[in-house]
Amino acid sequence: MAAHLPRWSFDLDQARARVGCCHYADHKITLSRHLVVHLSAAEVDQALLHEIAHALAGHRAGHGPQWRRAAARLGYTGRRTVAVPAARLQARWLARCPHGHEYRRHRRPSTVAYCRPCSQRGEWFALEWTDQG
């Protein structure tokens, strides 16, 4: 990035709705710390190139021809928006109680858990986790 934008800085942010952001006034590019973990290294590179192209083309260019030219010169091959495939954001461990209450976790829980709404009615269903990943 320094090669293209020597006076710009890079940071991570807390966004959940979009992967990257170009802060024109601050001369800064940020990527979401929550979403980049779901991207491959090559995809992170592409997300950065997308934002670098914004920095080079300027705020007013939007995703118009100037931005597209800058993006193509940088080797950006993605689209006008950068997104994490929805399936990757889904937690892979799924449990369902006999009454149909569903639970999802990113990691397999190590302790026994009971379906909460059912246990409040006096039915204790130990949740059984299946790997959907």
- 115 touching Zn ion, by CB under 5 A: yes
CB of 41 to Zn ion, least distance (A): 20
CB of 132 to Zn ion, least distance (A): 19
- 57 touching Zn ion, by CB under 5 A: no
CA distance 13 to 30: 6
Nearer to Zn ion, 68 or 92 (CB): 68
Segment interacting with Zn ion (CB under 5 A) among 11-19, 40-48, 70-78, 99-107: 99-107
- For the residues of 61-106, what is the DSSP string, one character each? GTTSHHHHHHHHHHT--S-SS----HHHHS-SEEEE-TT--EEEES
Residue among 126, 35, 45, 13 nearest 88 (CA): 35
Long-range contacts (CB closer than 8 Å, 24 or more residues apart) made by 24-28: 24/54, 24/55, 24/58, 24/59, 27/55
- 99 touching Zn ion, by CB under 5 A: yes
Residue from 45, 101, 105, 129 touching Zn ion (CB under 5 A): that is 101
Tokens, residue 75: 């080797």
- 1 touching Zn ion, by CB under 5 A: no
CB of 80 to Zn ion, least distance (A): 6
Residues near Zn ion, by CB under 5 A = 97, 99, 101, 115, 118
